[in-house]
Structure 1
Amino acid sequence: MAHGGNIIDELTTDHREVEDLFGQIEASPSGQEERKHLIDEVTIELVRHSVAEEQYLYPAVREHVANGDAMADKELKDHSEVEKILKKLEGCSADDPQMDQLFLTLKESVTRHVQDEESNLFPQLRTACSAQTLDTLGEKIRTAKKMAPTRPHPSAPVTPPANKLLAPGAGLVDRARDFVTGRGKS
């Protein structure tokens, strides 16, 4: 899908891409290497997306939206849950009997999170921010995703400034590991 536009458009496009990957995973045979590759792809996308949200979306929600602190805290809790599931999936081989159940748990958690963001958080942010602010945040999100890690790091900081300082380094290491192993290359 084409990316661009304001933060809400950018993140909504990411949501649709992840939903598409979920459909591909469900259509692939259990225990097959193809399924593991697709789970690696969805992991890469979810981690990059989450890191970018943690760097720019949730600070903007805290700053601009009424009761933004509570909303951001809830979303960060959701991210923590997803990251732990992704870490467990990362350790699974294609034929691991645990993989299918972990995938279903991941899909349920991500789907619930996406519905909450799209029906609650995004409309409130759109109302609270100018179009220019939303566009600027969209650019920041796109830049952050390019530098973000591609593997789950459940112990990494999730709030600024620490996450903005450490994520690019972790991202560099992850991308080097991915290059050497061929992970994420279909």
Structure 2
Amino acid sequence: MSSAKSQTLSEAVAEDHREMYTYYDEYTKASGNPDKQERWARQLTWEVARHAIAEELVVYPMMEKHLGEKGKQLAEHDRADHQEVKNRLYNLEDLSPGTSQHASLLKEIMDHLKPHNDSEENEDLPLLEAAIGREDSQSAAKSFERTKKFVPTRSHPSAPNKPPFETLAGLMAAPMDKLKDAFAKFPSDEEKKEAKESHN
């Protein structure tokens, strides 16, 4: 893993993708323990929601700006993928961890995310980084990481998915999400650290 200082945009995005897979693996390993599954499902939702919106605010506008018509097509396709995931994550909140419906919907979400993530890592980001160069990629990675700190941490499928309206909606939704998160169950920092180490 690169240090945050020298990390490229591709590396920052790929690191998030690996975290999603780690959290999902922990969720599946916790089968039969609804409390533990609830914690990992919440951690996964938190990661996916922040990641998706940071991409929509930082990465996709850059693709549209630097890759012309191809960038616009890729960004639109990626936004549509995100919308599918946001809709399903929103529906997941109504289901109880430990039930087959919850496990089935979360598997659907991950099955949808994997090819989307692969396409970003193998097509979108290499094209973008070839167009902007390493220095701008590192700068974009910092912006991507900063953005994740203030965006919503839960799925809001009806919110706009393009700036500037997404930015405004995010700033309004984020405090309410953070309040809900204060009462939600998450894995401990130690559990997250152990999970990441076991997947490296």
Establish whether TM, by shorter chain, passes 0.5: yes
Partner of 1:77: 80
Distance 1:25 1:185, change over 3 A: closer
Q: Which moved more, 1:146-155 or 1:6-15?
A: 6-15
Alignment check: 8 A CA contact 2:2 2:11 kept: no
Once the two structures are superposed, residues 27-62 of structure 1 have per-residue CA deviations (whole angstroms, 9 ceiling, x without a partner) of: 111462211211111000000000100001000000
Alignment check: 8 A CA contact 1:48 1:149 kept: yes
Partner of 1:21: 23
- Counterpart-to-counterpart distance in 1, 2:60 and 2:123: 13
Of 58, 61, 70, which residue of structure 1 is paired with 2:60?
Answer: 58
Alignment check: 8 A CA contact 1:35 1:94 kept: yes
> Which residue identity lines up with residue 113 of structure 2 in the other structure?
V
Matches of residues 148-163 of structure 1 in structure 2 within 5 Å? 148-163=151-166
> Which residue identity lines up with residue 96 of structure 2 in the other structure?
S
Partner of 2:116: 113
> What is the aligned length?
185
Matches of residues 20-59 of structure 1 in structure 2 within 5 Å? 20-30=22-32, 32-59=34-61
- Counterpart-to-counterpart distance in 1, 2:129 and 2:150: 26
Q: Which moved more, 1:90-99 or 1:13-22?
A: 90-99
What secondary structure sits across from 2:42 in the alignment?
A: helix
Partner of 2:89: 86
> Which residue identity lines up with residue 39 of structure 1 in the other structure?
A
Distance 1:10 1:46, change over 3 A: same
Of 7, 31, 40, which residue of structure 1 is paired with 2:9?
Answer: 7
Alignment check: 8 A CA contact 1:18 1:45 kept: yes
- Counterpart-to-counterpart distance in 2, 1:158 and 1:51: 8
Alignment check: 8 A CA contact 2:40 2:187 kept: no
* Alignment TM-score, normalising by the size of structure 1: 0.93
Distance 1:64 1:173, change over 3 A: same
1:133 aligns with 2:136: yes
Q: Give the superposition deviation at 1:2.
A: 7.1
Mark the runs of 5 or more structure 1 residues left unpaired by the alignment. Answer: none
Question: Percent identity, aligned pairs only?
Answer: 27
Distance 1:31 1:178, change over 3 A: same
> Which residue identity lines up with residue 83 of structure 2 in the other structure?
S
Partner of 2:169: 166
Partner of 1:184: 186
Q: Which moved more, 1:98-107 or 1:73-82?
A: 98-107
Mark the runs of 5 or more structure 2 residues left unpaired by the alignment. Answer: 189-200
Alignment check: 8 A CA contact 2:92 2:102 kept: yes
Q: Give the superposition deviation at 1:139.
A: 1.5
